[in-house]
Amino acid sequence: MSAFDRIKKYLREGEKPEAIVFGAWKSYCDDPELIPEDVVGKVIKIKSLDDVKEYLSGWDIVAEYGAAEVYSLYLWTDKRVIFIVIYDGATWLESVPRRPEDIEPKVFGGY
């Protein structure tokens, strides 16, 4: 499954992506160079995840322990901020509310 498909599945019904920023490749393997250097660290305004599908294809977000091979990213939606967590090489998506709300916070990565 591609990063595009994972994020699309992770979005809640009716949730609208608004912007994304990509970070560097996180892996012991060579960067597949799917995201151009001039895009890394720059906010990209989007109306749909399809606007950045080319950058989210060719790699996956979810990996087993010891096998992290991901680009870091922040994805802002109208409801929350989505990001990738890495713990002991395993990777997955997490999110925090975009605006303050009554919610019990959680610890990411190891608990």
Examine the pLDDT at 37 and tell me if it is beyond 70.
yes
This prediction's pTM: 0.92
What would the mean pLDDT of 56-84 be, rounded to a whole number?
90
Q: What is the pLDDT of residues 82-104, one digit of tens each?
A: 999 988 878 899 999 999 999 99
Angstrom distance (rounded) from CA 80 to CA 107: 16
Map tokens 């509310």 to a residue. 97
> How confident is the model at residue 111, as a pLDDT?
60
- Burial class of 27 by CB neighbour count within 10 A (0 to 12, 13 to 18, 19+): middle
Examine the pLDDT at 36 and tell me if it is beyond 70.
yes
Backbone angles phi, psi at 6, to 5 degrees: -65, -45
With pLDDT > 90 as the criterion, what percentage of the chain qualifies?
74
3-state helix, strand, coil in the chain (%, to 5): 15, 35, 50
